[in-house]
Structure 1
């Protein structure tokens, strides 16, 4: 995993875990990699992974089964969506709006490009 400079590594790892949950690769109630396993997979210090797990546990996205390890919460997908939506709306969207304003991009142009993006990348299965 390549890390970016703009965000703490533990939050980038949290995003990775959330993505795995949203993609269904780590389903509800299933065990996730141990702190050491994930640290090895991502080539980071286990303390960083532990910080990530503490963060996600506080958000009730994962939970610790004593003696077994960490698992995905039953309602993790809904919690991940709420967390990521809140973070996007508060942190990232203001930057997007600023860029749209500075580049004089209209909401209509944005809507057209968004619709095309969805059509190209998420075709409807009939």
Structure 2
């Protein structure tokens, strides 16, 4: 049986600021719907991803700035250039034996790691 992660909550203080930031990064804004007072659901998806993030009001009890997410990319240098070209502050590429990493954060301090790996083990 396949288990597929489809939606990860990201806690933010200002939904519109966070939405604009993630669109600046290159995420697609799939949904922005106020279900009712106290519940706003904003779904954003990175290009090529089967998993989205959700920000909004009434979404999670997590404190803003506490989420950490790792994403696999094909090329760490290219991913870093894309972030910098979009005006996003990104770390230098950190090369490790298990992959190359680029880090950035959103306006609330939620942390993102982009990992480029040569190959994945089968299984």
Relative contact order (alpha carbons < 8 A, sep ≥ 6): 1 or 2 greater? 2
TM-score normalised by the chain length of structure 1: 0.30
Question: What TM-score, normalized to structure 2?
Answer: 0.30
**In proportion to residue count, which structure has more strand?**
2
Greater share of helix: 1
Larger radius of gyration between Structure 1 and Structure 2: 1
